[in-house]
Chains A and B, each alone.
Chain A
């Protein structure tokens, strides 16, 4: 394993859900305050901050709530991969010698219902939206349908993924959806984007998540249980990759950006998939989790049918995936979602997860994927 230069010393979360009358910035503030307390660091000790949000234009305005200390505070947004990006930037400030202690925070507060925008913001022509094609959910259905067809995976396996998410949500006090659903109930829910059904999808919601980082050689000043950032990567899609909102694709297919982000992350960390104890994957929908299992190197294409049937992705299995219920049980405030993954990994690696604890977890892995075809991977370890 590589020698770490950056440590995670504190994490905080404003639970994801719906909070009438509370702003995204206020939820981000709560998350940062919890992360600072967890790290034993005062806000005045923080030397730089990175923030991400889809709905808040200047999420770095969170300084107005935390205290206007004059530090460099910047916002970055890379869609669903934003959490990985702000974490990497907060780490890089430490590597560059610009700061000893930094904060990464994400926050969002989405309106109810499907995301809606003008096609031009995605580089697409007006007619694409007029004709009813400008919907990211089509991608999830189209990719899942083809993947299930190519690799002999049943619709029940999709339902097993969603059922696991709700069971893990039940064991997670801060999860949004805590009512376990059976495979039968999920299979009885309406088809939204065939083969994906209503209960196989995550929903946009609200929340915040934050991480406090410091120089690895100073981590023990703050905590007895520091975590080390072993890898953080981000890749955009290359020509031929089947990504969201593609009016056409070349016949010569290329792997998803997730494949490149994953391979590069394992290389950075000097680790392989079999070294990972607890896994967080982008489960925008149950099909995404199944596909991401293979794209991240945790199984071969098609093995998911057996792995899910055998319970291997459960908390007690060999590949515990989305131990807090993932996006399906927590929803997705886009700017915060990636740091929720890191929050869960940190709590797992520090043995704080109670009835959803993965025993003896030492290495955690988190993957993000979203529009316009961006994947990020973070690996942390004890």
Chain B
């Protein structure tokens, strides 16, 4: 099955060392998710595509106990097979705080300030039968696994 990003311009893919993509304006402001243009001092400016750091620290985290309302949620699970997951903000040095799903579903195993790294993980299936991939953050050293 072909693996495709859940949306274009979200992260570099396919890649051996994928990274999240942000936009950068001439005044150095980073925009995530990337978009083509932004107002800078009253003028619409094309943003430069840049890769964000792959490592950071956990700024905060929380849990999602119930399957989110669908749509818009498009996970491959259903009400029976849904597994609670965790969400957090990861502070990427000199860049941004990024909101992301975390690969560790047990909040007891997470702590503010811990080292995190980017993972690109399988999520669902698109209309063409491709496997969709989303970004997530994992505690550094955690085994490679899906987004929960």
Q: Which A residues fall within an 8 A CB radius of B?
A: 113-114, 116-119, 125-135, 137-138, 141-143, 145-146, 149, 190-196, 246-251
Complex interface: chain B residues within 8 A of A135 (CB): 64, 68
Which 6 residue pairs spanning A and B have beta carbons closest together? A129-B72, A141-B62, A116-B69, A130-B74, A146-B60, A248-B32
- Are B60 and A249 within 8 A (Cβ)? no
CA distance A194 to B107 in the complex (A): 8
CA distance A180 to B99 in the complex (A): 36
Per the 8 Å Cβ criterion, residues 87-124 of B in contact with A are: 87-89, 91, 94-99, 101, 107, 112, 123-124
- Are A247 and B60 within 8 A (Cβ)? no
Least CB separation from A192: chain B residue = B65
- Are A132 and B107 within 8 A (Cβ)? no
How many A-B residue pairs lie within 8 Å, measured between CB atoms?
119
How many residues on chain B are close to A (CB under 8 Å)?
A: 43
B88 to chain A, nearest CB (A): 7
Least CB separation from A249: chain B residue = B97
Known contacts A149-B112, A193-B62, A248-B96; A129/B107 CB under 8 A: no
Complex interface: chain A residues within 8 A of B86 (CB): 194
- Are B91 and A251 within 8 A (Cβ)? yes
Complex interface: chain B residues within 8 A of A132 (CB): 64, 68, 73, 75, 85, 101
- Are A145 and B6 within 8 A (Cβ)? no
- Are B69 and A248 within 8 A (Cβ)? no
Which residue of B30, B64, B71, B134 contacts A193 across the interface (Cβ within 8 Å)?
B64
- Are B62 and A138 within 8 A (Cβ)? yes
Per the 8 Å Cβ criterion, residues 46-92 of B in contact with A are: 59-66, 68-69, 71-75, 85-89, 91
CA distance A142 to B107 in the complex (A): 12
- Are A194 and B61 within 8 A (Cβ)? yes
Which residue of A127, A131, A248 contacts B98 across the interface (Cβ within 8 Å)?
A248
- Are A142 and B60 within 8 A (Cβ)? yes
The main secondary structure of chain B at its interface with chain A is strand
- Are A126 and B107 within 8 A (Cβ)? no
Complex interface: chain B residues within 8 A of A125 (CB): 7, 33
The main secondary structure of chain A at its interface with chain B is mixed
Known contacts A133-B99, A142-B89, A145-B112; A193/B63 CB under 8 A: yes
Which residue of A117, A131, A142, A194 contacts B134 across the interface (Cβ within 8 Å)?
A131
CA distance A116 to B71 in the complex (A): 8
- Are B59 and A129 within 8 A (Cβ)? no
- Are A194 and B63 within 8 A (Cβ)? yes
- Are A191 and B95 within 8 A (Cβ)? no
- Are A192 and B60 within 8 A (Cβ)? no
- Are A130 and B124 within 8 A (Cβ)? yes
- Are B88 and A142 within 8 A (Cβ)? yes
Least CB separation from A145: chain B residue = B60
- Are B96 and A130 within 8 A (Cβ)? no
CA distance A118 to B7 in the complex (A): 16
Complex interface: chain A residues within 8 A of B134 (CB): 127, 131
Per the 8 Å Cβ criterion, residues 1-60 of B in contact with A are: 6-7, 10, 22, 29-33, 59-60
Complex interface: chain A residues within 8 A of B94 (CB): 251
Least CB separation from A124: chain B residue = B33
16 extra interface residue pairs, beta carbon distance < 8 Å, beyond A114-B66, A125-B7, A249-B96: A127-B7, A130-B73, A130-B74, A131-B74, A132-B101, A141-B63, A145-B62, A146-B60, A191-B63, A192-B63, A192-B65, A248-B30, A249-B99, A250-B96, A251-B94, A251-B96
